[in-house]
Structure 1
Amino acid sequence: MGVREAAAGEAGKPAMTRRSGADGARALRSRWRTASMAAGWSYPADWPLAEVDEVCAAVLRTADPGAELYRLGGARAEAGAGLAETLLDLAALHAVVGEPPGSTGIVSPDVDAVPSRMLRATALGWGDVMSRQASTCAADNPLTGLATGAYLRTRLREVYAEARTTGHQDHLLVLVALDLSRTSGWSRVVAMTLLADALREVFDSGQTIASLGPSLAAVLVRKDDRLRRTVGNLRLLTADRLAVDPHVAPTGPAEVWLEELPATYEQAAELLAGLGR
């Protein structure tokens, strides 16, 4: 059973009218995104993915979108989204597809109303990626070369241990965010790769540079008098790198800010978890 038929049967109302081609895909994608944001999606800039477009195309073909939902679930896991948030996003799609023709009103996503085949495909994709990540425990992202959030947490544990010995904390985080909602597909990966290159050029003295999500990077640095100037150089260099490609230029200017570390490692781990999602 395809998602259109499932939505109509489960919700007891006619499925939304399908427009053909790119117009229909854009309309569905827009309504889905709006519903997901309203339901509580944490970071709007992280929602657009190539797999979202694949799911929209499959739905418009009246095909069973199981394979596309599996890939979307995996992509959400790769991006750091939890299972609950991933399934609520799926429920937003299901609610939108089940709307009457021409509807523009607010929908109410309900995970319990989503057909089991859709839930299973999405959850399996999410779970397979999480299992693979747990088994490999790679220390860096193979696309950008940035360290993982897990490695940054390890470094923070060491920093807090050092602070207990010396009696003072002299580290903080430099955070850099791009707006990936302004581009699509591989342009998002290119944008983060260019940002990673800029970060490595500016912070080239052994600092830990990590990815906290699809659009956010962090650098663990020691406080010094040159840091403000270094951050200014990072803004300029990032702008130059992004400007070389018109497809990634809209993701800038990069938002750069300094984040003081909290009093304990446990609080720092919570901070990273919040920043990452």
Structure 2
Amino acid sequence: MDQFHRVITLTSAELRERWFEQSSAAGWAFVSDWHHAAVDALCEACLLGQNIWAPAERLGSVRADKGVSLGETLADLDGLACVLPDIADGIIHRAASLGWAERMTTPRHAVFDPLTGLVSVDYLRTRLGEVYRAAEVAGTKVSSTHGLVTVRLNLAGRIGWDRLTPLILAGDAMRTVFDGGQTLARLADHMAIVLTERTPMLARRTHLLTGMVAERLGRDQQADESPARIWIERLPDNAPAAVDLIGELAR
């Protein structure tokens, strides 16, 4: 009780300083971009017991505007939770994620989904066609050279914007793990896939992705069931069958 009392008697400036120290220690890259009026507003709301949703959502929007990834934004908020362990960090993470997403609604390119940074289904079909044509020229089978890392999300009990939060978080994890030119696509609100080569590291990368998605979605989990199921899907040996498979996975 005494420790909690000491924490809540921090001033806004002291909380901001300790929060920044935590984020800096965790690797915040751009010191000059960290402080913003939205940071002060969130500090004050936490200390005064006010509604934290609006300032957290605003901070997420500010971070997106500065080009900060969703993963970095949430890691920064983890620093706040280290200083104030009694705050509702799940609510803060969800609000910041939605603020970040809304700021990202202007597409950088037509093939990208603006919320997740994942490519569209149409672009995925184009990439599959290229892979199958290359395999035909090389005399190889796509089932042996490529596969689909499939991420199916549990959206039970979610409505409206809240249905998009798991895909936004999962997409950020996918880009972190598969950062070597693989095709990362959004099939539906509950489904995303990675078109990737079958390398010796594929199983390890898939395992890493599973843990990362579980950790990020665990903060936001609203249902008792597992937040995601991730597996490697075998591709068929002809392009039309691959397109059919994509359609089935999207359902």
Equivalent of residue 211 in structure 1, options 179, 186, 191: 186
- The Cα shift of 1:245 comes to 2.6
Task: Return the alpha-carbon distance in structure 1 between the equivalents of residues 170 and 226 of structure 2.
Answer: 10
SS at match of 1:200: helix
Residue correspondence of structure 1 range 71-150 to structure 2 within 5 A: 138-150=110-122
Residue correspondence of structure 1 range 49-60 to structure 2 within 5 A: none
- AA of the residue aligned to 1:149: V
- The Cα shift of 1:160 comes to 0.3
Equivalent in the alignment of 2:244: 270
Task: Return the alpha-carbon distance in structure 1 between the equivalents of residues 248 and 154 of structure 2.
Answer: 17
- AA of the residue aligned to 2:149: V
Equivalent of residue 194 in structure 1, options 169, 193, 206: 169
- The Cα shift of 1:246 comes to 4.5
- AA of the residue aligned to 1:165: V
Alpha carbons 2:218, 2:227 under 8 Å: kept:
no
Alpha carbons 1:195, 1:238 under 8 Å: kept:
yes
- The Cα shift of 1:183 comes to 2.3
Equivalent in the alignment of 2:212: 237
- The Cα shift of 1:182 comes to 3.2
SS at match of 2:147: strand
- The Cα shift of 1:253 comes to 3.2
Task: Return the alpha-carbon distance in structure 1 between the equivalents of residues 205 and 229 of structure 2.
Answer: 14
Task: Return the alpha-carbon distance in structure 2 between the equivalents of residues 236 and 182 of structure 1.
Answer: 23
* Alignment partner of 1:165 is 2:137: yes
* Alignment partner of 1:257 is 2:231: yes
Task: Return the alpha-carbon distance in structure 1 between the equivalents of residues 226 and 168 of structure 2.
Answer: 13
Task: Return the alpha-carbon distance in structure 1 between the equivalents of residues 197 and 174 of structure 2.
Answer: 15
Alpha carbons 2:112, 2:118 under 8 Å: kept:
yes
- AA of the residue aligned to 2:211: L
Structure 1's consecutive aligned runs of 4 or more residues displaced over 3 angstroms after TM superposition are 249-253
Equivalent in the alignment of 2:127: 155
- The Cα shift of 1:184 comes to 2.4
Task: Return the alpha-carbon distance in structure 1 between the equivalents of residues 171 and 225 of structure 2.
Answer: 14
Equivalent of residue 226 in structure 1, options 178, 182, 201: 201
Identity %: 42
Equivalent in the alignment of 2:37: none
Root-mean-square deviation (Å): 1.7
Task: Return the alpha-carbon distance in structure 2 between the equivalents of residues 189 and 180 of structure 1.
Answer: 9
Superposed CA offset, 1:17-46 (max 9, x none): xxxxxxxxxxxxxxxxxxxxxxxxxxxxxx
Equivalent in the alignment of 2:160: 185
Alpha carbons 2:221, 2:227 under 8 Å: kept:
no
Task: Return the alpha-carbon distance in structure 2 between the equivalents of residues 273 and 243 of structure 1.
Answer: 28
Identify if the C-alpha distance between structure 1 residues 251 and 187 changes in structure 2 by more than 3 Å, giving closer, same or farther. Answer: farther
Identify if the C-alpha distance between structure 1 residues 245 and 184 changes in structure 2 by more than 3 Å, giving closer, same or farther. Answer: same
Task: Return the alpha-carbon distance in structure 2 between the equivalents of residues 205 and 186 of structure 1.
Answer: 30
The two structures have a TM-score, normalised by structure 1, of 0.48
SS at match of 1:165: helix
Identify if the C-alpha distance between structure 1 residues 251 and 217 changes in structure 2 by more than 3 Å, giving closer, same or farther. Answer: farther
Task: Return the alpha-carbon distance in structure 2 between the equivalents of residues 269 and 253 of structure 1.
Answer: 27
How many residue pairs end up in the alignment?
140
The two structures have a TM-score, normalised by structure 2, of 0.53
SS at match of 1:219: strand
Superposed CA offset, 1:121-157 (max 9, x none): xxxxxxxxxxxxxxxx931211111101111000000
Unaligned runs of 5+ in 2: 1-108
Alpha carbons 1:172, 1:260 under 8 Å: kept:
yes
